[in-house]
Structure 1
């Protein structure tokens, strides 16, 4: 399997903690972790990617991702497999739960990448989300405010699934 690039944007530190959890679960696999605040140039060097973003406002990308969105929109994702992780609060922002993840999904698909790692929307109590296609989230949805006790198991199960799909 080729090396995995993990890219995350964080404001409050919760997303960085998720990147650490993913890092821990991938400890036996070749991977590298990048904070998007330091740039996204390295994305082009990986065929296997995990992109992690919290959702802010009403379905918006986190600021560091937003700062690099024009560069991201110009990247060619051909031949890349991309797994997405979105953080959000399903109760306070139930009308736009983890929609930042959908923004990344749209960019990857529009630029010819393959998104893997869809997860069931069962077990969540949100109103609606553009990050759901056919009763599945376009990646791993996490709510660190209301369901943080479920995060370790969700991450562990999801990592095992996406590893089967990476090259």
Structure 2
């Protein structure tokens, strides 16, 4: 599968996200140190994740180079998601550790496109993220079909080219 990575086309393989395997068809971006993929159970349409390629459980375990790469690419993904979903803002969140709501022990950034009135209170998005994260009975849940996730990933990869 060929996808766009800010200036060049690359071939992609499946990557690990904690104990889970993210298929190449769900990944829409990767750099040498991080990757972005669609969310199996998004809070809103366009809710995606950006993670380092190296399995690191907590934010403090990232190298300076990984932090820089993760945040530069989160910024790029956020701009793309806003454009792709006609959003006016983004919520960008990291749940760092179990007591912060992290359910997959792999650092990851939530990128959630936002619009006026999408939640009753602006901060309700955090409750929704926690609700979705804590309701994970199994990674194999079928909240979204493979086809839906693959189509979204293809759409976002194409948007990165623009």
Q: TM range, normalised to the smaller chain?
A: 0.3 to 0.5
With CA pairs under 8 Å and 6+ residues apart, which has the higher RCO, 1 or 2?
Answer: 2
TM-score by length of 2: 0.36
Q: TM-score w.r.t. structure 1 length?
A: 0.35
